[in-house]
Chains A and B, each alone.
Chain A
Amino acid sequence: MLTLNAVTKSYAGPRARQVLRDVSLSVGDGEFVAIMGESGAGKSTLLNLIAGLDLPDAGSVVLDGTDLSALDDNARTRLRRHRMGFVFQAIHLLPHLTVSQNVRLPLDIAEMPRDQANRRVGAILEAVGILKLANDFPRSISGGEAQRAAIARALVHEPQLMLADEPTGNLDREAAAQVLTLLREQVKQRAGGGILVTHSGSAARTADRVYVLTQDGLAVQTG
């Protein structure tokens, strides 16, 4: 489903540096993989390239046969809109929208009929266990509940690929464990596949496969 072929990325400027070198990766349908690495190893850059938010200097990112480099910004945006979902470490629910409005956001952007969208939102809120918080604003719910809402938002439109960047970084251990279980479960049910970026070993262990990103490239972790 997703293939990265020898992706290289550098940043120019006074502190120019090469962030990714010859990174290759393949994620198949139904797979949930984790990418680990030290701070500064390029995990977020890799996620940006996969999401089409940035383009590689060399190599290619191919999603279901489509090379992202061949698309313009609008086309990549539409691709994200319909085929990707995001979960952020800082959660980023929009504070002026209720939980259900936040979750429905991808459906609104995709202009899904209102009734259908409502049904989808109700179903996923129930699935992640926060249906009773549907009309609450983000500031009045806990961090774990907010991250569940963020997971719901990432998957409500049933994307082919779910990208999660340190989704449990701001949560306590118990809440983190619940969120990771939920994330894996929902990805398996609703998305084509998922990539979890983390530097937490316990988080990574919930994935089907774990990769480690270093300055030399990406390697499968064994053992």
Chain B
Amino acid sequence: MRTHCAILRASSGGAWRDHPGRLVLAILGIAFGVALGVAVHLINASAANEFNLAVRSLAGEADLVVRGPRSGFPDSLYPYIAKRAGVRAASPGVELDAQLAGRHETIKVLGLDPFRALQVQPHLLLESRDALLDMLKPGVVLLSRSAADELGLKPHDTLRLQSGTQVVTLRIAALLPAGATGQRVAVMDIAQAQWIFGRVGELHRIDVKLEPGASTARFSRELAPLLPAGTIIATPEAEAERSASLSRAYRTNLDMLALVALFTGAFLVFSTQFLALVRRRSQLALLRVIGVTGAELTRALVIEGAVLGIAGSALGVALGVGLARIGIARLGGDLGAGYFHSVAPALHVDPAALAVFFALGLLFAMLGAALPALEAARRAPALALKAGDEEEALSALQSVVPSLALFAAAWVLAQAPPVGDLPIAGYFAVAAILVGAILAMPRFAQAVLSRLPPLRYAPATLAAAQLQATPRQVGVSLAAILASFSLMVSMLIMVGSFRDSLAAWLDQMLPADLYVRAGRLGDAGFFTPDEQARIGRVAGVASAAFIRSQNVYLRTDRPPLSLLARPLPRGGSAPALPFEGPVLTPGAGDAPPAWLSEVAADVLRVTVGATIDLPIGTGTQPKGTAAKRFVVAGIWRDYARQNGAIVVDRATYVALTGDERANEAALTLDPGARADAVAEGVRAAVANEAGVETISTRELKAVSLAIFDRTFAVTYALEVAAVLIGMFGVSASFSAQALARRREFGVLRHLGMTRRQVGAMLACEGAVVGSLGVAAGLAFGWLISLILVHVINRQSFHWSMDMTIPWRDLAVLGAALVAAATVTAMLSGRRAMSGEVTRAVREDW
């Protein structure tokens, strides 16, 4: 033990004591990486956990939930299920998202039969028996505590909700018991909910509690084929999983970005350790000379890395918990993406997750120390004692074979299909490109630097000579820039491509002049046929296209798909959608056409020409009614509905369902008509003008792009953090090298170079290294962006997009990075030259 301490003191103590700045940088690098990982993971996990609990809380003690689409299923299904063998109790429910009148928010309305609910969902009602009786009175709701807190309401206040284009006013009788649900929910009597929201005879869910010992799997298996098409049965756990699946790709991507930050931080520690050990090479060789074995030396240096890792990881975990607390309070559980707006998560700190991130930080730090330590221990001490041997320490980095192998692996991985709907192979492909690129940097530096033209300016000549003689050390510095910059470039290209594609998509999807919606949010707003006719007659309206949106369950493990019934152009040709690939025109005897979004086509695993069965117009019989067959006539790009969308002809939809209601209208105006005047006319044409929202095409596009920017704000923030951590790495490696070159600076000062010239020399070196890093970062960033766009994004969200390169942003970022590298190098040199640099020539090399 004493030996180990002595070795550690001799090998590490002086280095950290003399250069505490580098120690701090290394610890901060790992701390920031761990902090981002912890913060993003905690926020994601808290939100998903809360969302899961919220979804499950509505099912109460139910073993199974029978669930229908937004259009519901006939309430005659309820007695059919309640009377089945093995059912102990069943609770029918109406469930819809209603827009809060005058607010751009929704609340979940749950209509329950209080007496049935007491048997299945008692936790919602048990503690409020008085309120239970109140519930039966007209216009009364019970409000969840989270809804009351967020909306600032209390018992006996009124709750104003939108139904159709009307506003209904409900009285809050009481609050639901604390802990009943974390969701924003208003519970009311089922009959009243059906009446108020125009859902008479309709149910959306039946929560089923089975007899003790009954098998849920068997019950489900037997009931499923008897349910109307589009109605599914699942356990509450599967329900929660299905609901959370929509955000899973987004959450996984954020986790990956956080890991990227952690990786960049780890790489910073690696490069700092590597260059520091290279610089201390002769000291380490001396220890070997006086009898320290290679193993003892390696152990001491790995312990040194572990000490850094423990300090950085501990600080990172603490910072991460703090960041998560701030993030969840400021941005919500979905970090601004809008997935979890119905729940208000509290931070749930999982010690196991913290331990994993702590261990990852520690592991990366130890790995960062282990590789150079092994090399230092392996090298013959006599050789390592000689000046100029540093470059030899990095000789293992000379081969390009590992890089080529990793690039080949990346190509293979990029072709692989998703795993569980997640682009796992794609992430590995990105990692392979990144690691391959990092390993290629020394060779890249050597190839480029050897071609530098002769320079006349002495500082530039010296800088070139220094870089040409140390391409491997330059490669390590380059790698720190590359690791962060290439990822930033790839994200810029991906997000820029996405944004440009979205803007082009909006242009194509929004050809009308004015858009009208019955309620901005939720599914309780609609226009009656009479209102549609009145809107069509408003002065200035040349034509009005009314769209009905519903949802349908086509896979039990996926959220419902949006069904959009919209009128076809005259002549019955395909609607004007941004199609990708061929478009079929079905013949007279064929099944009616349906046009699927890319997400829907991927989820249903169909291509153009295939047929699908849509559960619409399936009658009102509870048992096994057949779905209507459609032919897939085209696949289109849709950035609006992440769960997938299917467009059908509205005339077909009305003929099948008899549902003539519409949710929105696209109005084309007469030439010269003013949009604001027409909007005024539309509001006057409906029963309640507060229940309608009008928005011009320009505003709608602006709002859509603003939502996009908000969603990607966190992504940008994580990337900026990664670049900052990368700059820490550059700064650390420059300052390590500058300190190692103090005697060189002393000699140059003796030989007549001014401080400014030495500074200029270092600036030239920084500029060259920065430029090479930026060039390599651009090239590999572009490669990674191809995988992000065509593999990760496609497999995660099923969205295709056109690649565009944001040259201006990349040029600005690249220039900023080169400038930062130049200034950093100069400042490192200034620090190294402070004090009596000329005395350094008296020191031995």
Contact = CB atoms under 8 A, between A and B. Distances in A.
Interface string A58-90: 000000000000000110011111101010111
Interface string A97-114: 100010001101111001
Interface residues of A, number: 34
A92 interface: yes
Nearest to A104: B461
A77 B752 contact: yes
A111 B599 CA distance: 67
B461 A108 contact: yes
The main secondary structure of chain B at its interface with chain A is: helix
Contacts of A106: 751-752
Contacts of B743: 92
Given A90-B844, A95-B845, A108-B458, A101 B751 contact: no
Nearest to B389: A139
Contacts of A89: 842
Contacts of A97: 465, 469
A123 interface: no
Contacts of A77: 749, 752-754
Contacts of B751: 80-81, 86, 105-106, 109, 153
Interface in B553-595: none
B838 A90 contact: no
A53 interface: yes
A111 B458 contact: yes
B755 interface: yes
B388 A139 contact: yes
A98 to B, nearest CB: 9
B251 to A, nearest CB: 49
Interface in A125-146: 137-139
B9 interface: no
Contacts of A96: 388, 465-466, 468-470
A202 interface: no
B456 interface: yes
Contacts, number: 85
B747 A92 contact: yes
A51 interface: yes
Contacts of A139: 386-389
B750 A51 contact: yes
A126 to B, nearest CB: 22
The main secondary structure of chain A at its interface with chain B is: helix
A162 B64 CA distance: 96
B196 interface: no
Residue among A53, A74, A101 with max Cβ neighbours from chain B (10 Å): A53
A159 to B, nearest CB: 10
A95 B838 contact: no
Contacts of A138: 387-388
Interface in B350-408: 386-389
A114 B455 CA distance: 10
Contacts of A101: 465
B23 interface: no
B222 interface: no
Contacts of B844: 90
B783 interface: no
Contacts of B843: 90
A48 interface: yes
Contacts of B389: 139
A111 B750 contact: no
Contact of A110 (B468, B470, B752): B752
A81 B754 CA distance: 9
8 contacts: A48-B838, A73-B755, A74-B756, A77-B749, A81-B751, A81-B753, A90-B844, A96-B388
Given A106-B751, A109-B752, 11 more contacts: A51-B750, A53-B838, A94-B744, A95-B388, A95-B469, A97-B465, A97-B469, A105-B748, A109-B753, A114-B454, A138-B387
The 9 lowest CB-CB distance pairs between A and B, nearest first, are A81-B752, A95-B388, A96-B469, A139-B388, A80-B752, A92-B747, A109-B458, A77-B754, A53-B838
